[in-house]
Amino acid sequence: MSVLLSPERVEIQLGERSYPILIGNGLLGEPRHFDAAPAAASALIVSNTTVAPLYARALRDTLAGRFQAVHMLELPDGEAHKDWQTLNLIFDALLRHGCDRKTVLFALGGGVVGDMVGFAAASYMRGVPFVQVPTTLLAQVDSSVGGKTAINHPLGKNMIGAFYQPRLVMCDLATLSTLPARELSAGLAEIIKYGPIYDMAFFDWIEANIDALMARDPAALAHAVRRSCEIKAAVVGQDERETGLRAILNFGHTFGHAIESGLGYGEWLHGEAVGCGMVLAARLSQRLGGVDEAFVQRLSALVERAGLPVVAPALGLERYLELMRIDKKSEAGEIRFVVIDQPGSAAMRSAPDTMVREVLAQGCAS
C-alpha cells in the first residue's frame, strides 16, 4: 500500500461505452487528467450547496482551458431532493445556457448529485456526455461507476431512471478530507459489501484495516477505493443492465431501500440503511443455508466497527414487506433478495414471507 502520487487507472470494459476510472490525490486541479473527457464548446458543472463552495471553483478553473464556456449549477443538498423538482433545475439550466448535444455535464458531489446528473445527461436532447467527479467515499467506491442513474419516488427508491454510462470517473481522494464522519461510515458500508458478495480476501483486509479507514489513513483509503472500483467494474463489465450477475451489488439493498423510503428519504443515510440491510440479508442467508451464525456475527461486528447501525428501525413487519415488494428485483409481486450462497459468492433468491418476518422480528428495534 502506498499513497498515490500519480493517478491509478481502473478500466470498465463495456465495448464502445468503456471508460477509465482515475484514482489519485489532487486530480481536480490538473487539466491533463481530464483528457478522456469529450471535447465541446460548453460544459455544465452540477454540484450542491455544500460541495460547490469547497470544490467547484477548482474544477471550473481546471476545465476553463478545455471549454469556451463553463457554466455552474448548485442544487439543494440531500437525499430528500433526489426528485423531479430538483432534476428539472438541471434541465432549466441546460436550456437557459443554450447547451447543445455536445455539452458535457460534470457531476461534482456524492451519489445524489451523480445519480441525478447522470439521469439528466441520459435525457437532455436524448443524451449528452457526462463525467463523474465523486466527492464522497460512497460515490468513489460505488455510485459513480456503472451507469445506474435515477431519482426517487415517494413510493420507492430509485424508481425512475436509466442505465447511462459516464465518459470518465475522476476520484480525487483529497476531497475526502472534508467529508463528515457519518458520511465516511456510509461509504464503508458499500466497501464492506464487496467482501461477502465477491472477494473474501478483501473482506479480511477491511477487517484488518477498519481502524485505519476510519482514521482516513490515505494509503488505506486509496486501496479501498481502488479494489472497490475494480470489483464493481468487473461485475458491471459482465452484466451492464442487471440481467443476472449485477444484482449481487444489491446485497443489503432490499431491506436497506425499505428503511430509506419507510422513514422518509434522508433520515437514515443510504450507506447506513445498506449496512443494517446487509446484516438482515446475512441472517436470511443463514436461514437459507448459505452461511453460519459465525459469519453473520462477523459481518455484523464489522458493520458496527464501521460506525453503522445494525438494528433496523421498527417500521412494522407488514410495512417492511409492503415496501420491499416495490423493489425493482420483485417479479409478479414476489420479493427477491440477494443472499450469500457461501462467503464470497451471492445470488438472487426468494424466501417465504414467514422466514422474512422472523429475520425482521430478530433484527428490528422493538
Ligand X SMILES: NC(=O)c1ccc[n+]([C@@H]2O[C@H](COP(=O)([O-])OP(=O)(O)OC[C@H]3O[C@@H](n4cnc5c(N)ncnc54)[C@H](O)[C@@H]3O)[C@@H](O)[C@H]2O)c1
Out of 33, 60, 223, 232, the active site residue is 232
Q: Is 88 annotated as catalytic?
A: no
Cell 455552474 sits at which residue?
A: 72
Single residue of 77, 79, 183, 190 touching ligand LNCXM5UN by CB under 6 A: 190
Is residue 48 within 8 A of residue 112, CB to CB? The reply is: yes
Nearest alpha-carbon partner for 59 in 141, 119, 133, 143? 133
Q: Is 126 annotated as catalytic?
A: yes
Q: Is 253 annotated as catalytic?
A: yes
Task: Name which of residues 149 to 168 contact ligand X (CB under 6 A).
Answer: 158
Cα atoms found within 13 Å of the Cα of residue 69, Cβ hemisphere only: 12
Single residue of 48, 86, 132, 185 touching ligand X by CB under 6 A: 48
The answer to whether 311 is annotated as binding is no
Is residue 113 within 8 A of residue 51, CB to CB? The reply is: yes
Q: Is 242 annotated as catalytic?
A: yes
| CB count in 10 Å sphere of residue 277 | 29
Single residue of 36, 80, 179, 347 touching ligand X by CB under 6 A: 179
The answer to whether 78 is annotated as binding is yes
Q: Is 148 annotated as catalytic?
A: yes
Single residue of 42, 50, 330, 350 touching ligand X by CB under 6 A: 50
d(CA 354, CA 262): 20
Here's the x/- map for ligand LNCXM5UN, 90-129, by CB under 6 A: it reads as ----------------------------------------
3 state DSSP class of 68 = coil
Which one, 77 or 199, has the nearer CB to ligand X? 77
Task: Name which of residues 6 to 65 contact ligand LNCXM5UN (CB under 6 A).
Answer: none
Residue 175, contacted partner among ligand LNCXM5UN, ligand X, none, CB below 5-8 A by kind: ligand X
Is residue 120 within 8 A of residue 164, CB to CB? The reply is: no
Q: Is 246 annotated as catalytic?
A: yes
Provide the pairing of β-strand 19-24 with 42-48.
unpaired
Helices (H), the chain: 57-63, 84-96, 111-123, 137-138, 181-198, 200-214, 218-238, 253-263, 270-287, 293-305, 317-325, 353-363
Minimum distance, C-beta of residue 62 to ligand LNCXM5UN, in the bound complex (Å): 28
Nearest alpha-carbon partner for 63 in 170, 142, 177, 179? 170
Position 328 contacts ligand LNCXM5UN (CB under 6 A): yes
Given its phi and psi angles, is residue 262 left (phi above 0), alpha (psi -120 to 50 degrees) or beta? alpha
Is residue 130 within 8 A of residue 97, CB to CB? The reply is: no
The answer to whether 136 is annotated as binding is yes
Minimum distance, C-beta of residue 300 to ligand X, in the bound complex (Å): 21
Minimum distance, C-beta of residue 354 to ligand X, in the bound complex (Å): 30
Single residue of 21, 46, 104, 112 touching ligand X by CB under 6 A: 112
Q: Which residues are annotated as a binding site for NAD(+)?
A: 77-82, 111-115, 135-136, 148, 157, 175-178
Enumerate the active-site residues.
Answer: 126, 148, 190, 232, 242, 246, 250, 253, 257, 270
